[in-house]
Amino acid sequence: MNKIAIITGATSGIGEATALLLAQNNFSLILTGRRNERLMLLKEKILEISQSKVLLLNFDIRSQKDTETAINNLPDNWKKIDVLLNNAGLAAGFSTVQDGIIDDWERMIDTNIKGLLYITRIVSPLMIKRGSGHIINISSIAGKETYPMGNVYCATKHAVQSLTKGMRIDMLKHGIKVSSISPGAVDTEFAIVRFNGDKNKAKQVYNGFTPLMAQDIAETILFVLNRPKHVNIDDILIMPTDQAFSRDFNRKENH
């Protein structure tokens, strides 16, 4: 069997682009997400462009029980996971703490921090048993800077940075690599989700400048995975050329 990668949040954006790229690079793929139709369409697309084997897991990563059951029920040959890409995540809303919507906070904390931990808790022992593996956490520029109205989302991504360091310490003696990738603005469904389906508001996020594309992050992930055994990339901060800080863009009219 080829190397096996599990990608959380493969139904769109960075996760989907990475699934397609890893399929073209001979990985077998376990793809997860809540939107099952999207997973099935992606599988079809992958089978059209590659010889990759694909297994779909349809669950909500906020449920510890469903996450554990999904991984525990994998056939034995699919439990030999080489790569865990902790990608599933979201921002919900844009507001001050004093005006914050508690349900938005819970969704971000439950997905970006707790979901990431639940799946790592169940997959990492499988890697430890085999003495090899690579965990890649998708963090963000928001894990390095805090911007106005971004309080809780930024805190979840700061947590991802810290957890990446903690995991690297924990995995050290087991020969398992741990990396994070921290992108600036990437044009995905992220902003549509953040603004609760408001496509106009979402469009404004990317107005007047050239953002990163999901493919840029997929290629970065492949680069991180393709380093020799003795090289671990701890973290890559990758920004659009038109973005300096989290809220500093080189926007141009008539872009």
When CB distances are held under 5 to 8 angstroms depending on the partner's kind, the choice from ligand NDP, ligand 8X3, none that residue 189 binds is ligand NDP
Which 3-state string (H, E, C) describes the chain? CCCEEEECCCCCHHHHHHHHHHHHCCCEEEEEECCHHHHHHHHHHHHHHCCCCEEEEECCCCCHHHHHHHHHCCCHHHCCCCEEEECCCCCCCCCCCCCCCHHHHHHHHHHHHHHHHHHHHHHHHHHHHHCCEEEEEECCHHHCCCCCCCHHHHHHHHHHHHHHHHHHHHHHHHCEEEEEEEECCEECCHHHHHCCCCHHHHHHHCCCCCCEEHHHHHHHHHHHHCCCCCCCCCEEEECCCCEEECCEECCCCCC
Answer yes or no: 206 catalytic: no
180 lies in the binding site for ligand NDP (CB under 6 A): no
Q: Which is nearer to ligand NDP, 172 or 248 (CB)?
A: 248
Residue from 14, 70, 85, 127 in contact with ligand NDP (CB under 6 A): 14
Question: Which region among 57-65, 124-132, 228-236, 240-248 touches ligand NDP (by CB under 6 A)?
Answer: 57-65
Site string for ligand NDP, 58-97 (x = CB under 6 A): --xxx------------------------xxxx-------
Of 223, 146, 145, 214, nearest to 179 by C-alpha is: 223
Q: Which two tokens stand for residue 35?
A: 């939107």
Is 164 a residue that touches ligand 8X3 (CB under 6 A)?
Answer: no
Stretch that binds ligand 8X3, among 16-24, 122-130, 138-146, 226-234 (CB under 6 A): 138-146
Nearer Cβ to ligand NDP (15/93)? 15
Backbone angles phi, psi at 181, to 5 degrees: -125, 130
Query: By CB under 6 A, which span of 54-62, 124-132, 168-176, 231-239 interacts with ligand NDP?
Result: 54-62
One residue of 4, 6, 15, 19 binding ligand NDP per CB under 6 A: 15
If one asks whether residue 185 binds ligand NDP (CB under 6 A), the answer comes out as: yes
Q: Which stretch binds ligand NDP (CB under 6 A): 31-39, 98-106, 218-226, 242-250?
A: 31-39
Q: Does 33 bind ligand NDP (CB under 6 A)?
A: yes
Alpha carbons 86 and 84: distance in angstroms, whole number: 6
Q: Which of ligand 8X3, ligand NDP, none binds 246 (CB below 5-8 Å, type-dependent)?
A: ligand 8X3
Q: Which residues are catalytic?
A: 153
Tell me which residues touch ligand NDP (CB under 6 A).
8-15, 33-35, 38, 60-62, 87-90, 111, 138, 140, 183, 185-186, 188-190, 193
